[in-house]
Amino acid sequence: MNCLSKYIAGLIIAFSLVNPAAEAQSFINLNFESATLSPESGYQNWPNLVPISQALPGWNAYLGSVEQTEVGQNTFANSYATVDILGPGWGTQPGPFGANIGIIDGNYSVLLQGGYSSDDSYNGYVNASIAQTGMVPATAESLTFRAWDYLGNLNLFAVSFNGNTLSPTLLGTGTSPSGQPYNIYGVNIVPYAGQTGQLEFTADGSAAEPTILLDDISFSTQAVPEPSILGLTAIGGLVFGARGWFARRR
């Protein structure tokens, strides 16, 4: 190797050392629209498993601490812990427990249900979760997502980054194509801006079948409003149609 080649190689190594984030991977498929699945009309008999590489590119799925290689498509279970993807072909038919939520947005939404383990080697209740490792954009101030919760709150739903619990604030509501409401949540992501780590969404399996439908995760340069700001926003009928109240996961 001549002197010039050695010099260039040294610069590349030095740059990678002072700027490790340059090679960090951004989060992908946050709206779950990268799935490559064949349409299946309506509800399919559980478990109707499909490879996670086709259903949730970029994501890992877990039941308890056990990583799953497959998830359900257009299906859900009663009592059992499951990770499922709804779409394409799900339509606006009744979803879990008769709730006609359909798909929140686009062609796909992800369903997380904590519950009884279907693994005969484990006798008990387990969480259901999806997780992905990536870099939070350096300019991000908030992480937002849309969710429908069968139990009506997020007490049994956890969001974390690198093991640090994030506390969702209710920003407003929306309506799915089937005409059912969902909530829009935001969390303060400023402490982790520019960091690489694991983002995880979990339905807690320690209680009665928490069921969460999730969609449209995104990073934003807009800060999550303080409670007082949310109240003023509700009075004016501005910003996400906020209703002047907020809910935080305890």
pLDDT in tens, 7-45: 334 433 333 343 444 356 899 999 999 999 999 888 888
Model pLDDT, residue 225 = 83
Model pLDDT, residue 246 = 29
Cβ atoms 80, 120 nearer than 8 A:
no
Model pLDDT, residue 123 = 66
Q: Which of 171, 183, 42, 33 is nearest to 102 (CA)?
A: 42
Model pLDDT, residue 196 = 98
Residues lower than pLDDT 50 in the chain: 3-22, 228-250
Model pLDDT, residue 150 = 72
DSSP codes joined into one string, 204-250: --SSS--EEEEEEEEEESSPPPPHHHHHHHHHHT-TTT--S------
CATH 3.40.30 fits domain 29-236: no
